Structure 1
Amino acid sequence: MDETETYAALTDVFRDVFEDDDLHLNADMTADDVEDWDSLSHMRLILSVEKAFGIHFSTVEVGSLNTVGDLVRLIRSKQS
């Protein structure tokens, strides 16, 4: 899966978790850029990403995420 495909799949996850079909991701996006992205929805998002991509994140990895771009890089590193 290349970066474009990762963003497309991740966009589907975000749209489902945040119930917003108009949501478009970019590498610099943070929780401040998405309405209703709070600590509870963050955990739902991480669990949904793990399920969608068939991967698992450690607590340290999740704690190091600051942007959507960070998440994409982490996903891709797990798929290599």
Structure 2
Amino acid sequence: MTEADIKTKLTAIFRDVFDDDSIVLRDDMTADDIPEWDSMSHVTLVVATEQTFGIKFRTAEIEEMHDVGDFVRLIGAKVEGKAA
């Protein structure tokens, strides 16, 4: 799965969680860029992402994510590892 494929699916998740079809993800996007992105919506994003991609994140991995680019790369590594 390419980063573009991941971003497409992740964009749909963000738009659903925040109920905002205008969201366009950027690698440098953080919670500061979406006013509704708080700790509760972050948990919702993580759970929805795990369900969509069929992966699980460890707490330490979640804590190391600083922006959408980190999120995309972590998803890619998890999906690739799952396929191996």
- TM-score (structure 1 length as normaliser): 0.98
2:42 corresponds in structure 1 to 42
Superposed displacement of residue 35, structure 1: 2.1
1:68 is aligned to 68
Correspondences of 1:43-58 after superposition (within 5 Å): 43-58=43-58
SS of corresponding position for 1:51: helix
Identical columns (%): 49
Whether 2:16 is the aligned partner of 1:16: answer: yes
Cα distance, 1:77 vs structure 2: 0.2
The one-letter amino acid of 2:28's match is D
In structure 2, give the amino acid aligned to 1:12.
Answer: A
| Number of residue equivalences | 80
TM-score of the pair, normalised by structure 2: 0.93
Q: Over aligned residues, Cα RMSD in angstroms?
A: 0.5
User: Residue 6 of structure 2 aligns with which residue?
Assistant: 6
| Secondary structure, aligned partner of 1:15 | helix
Give runs of ≥4 in structure 1 deviating > 6 Å.
none
Structure 1 residues without counterparts, runs of 5 or longer: none
Q: Deviations over 1:9-66 (max 9, x none)?
A: 0000000001000000010000000120000000011001100110000000001110
Shift, 1:79, TM fit: 1.1
Query: How far apart, in 1, do the equivalents of 2:6 and 2:18 lie?
Result: 18
Structure 2 Cα separation of the partners of residues 5 and 35 of structure 1: 26
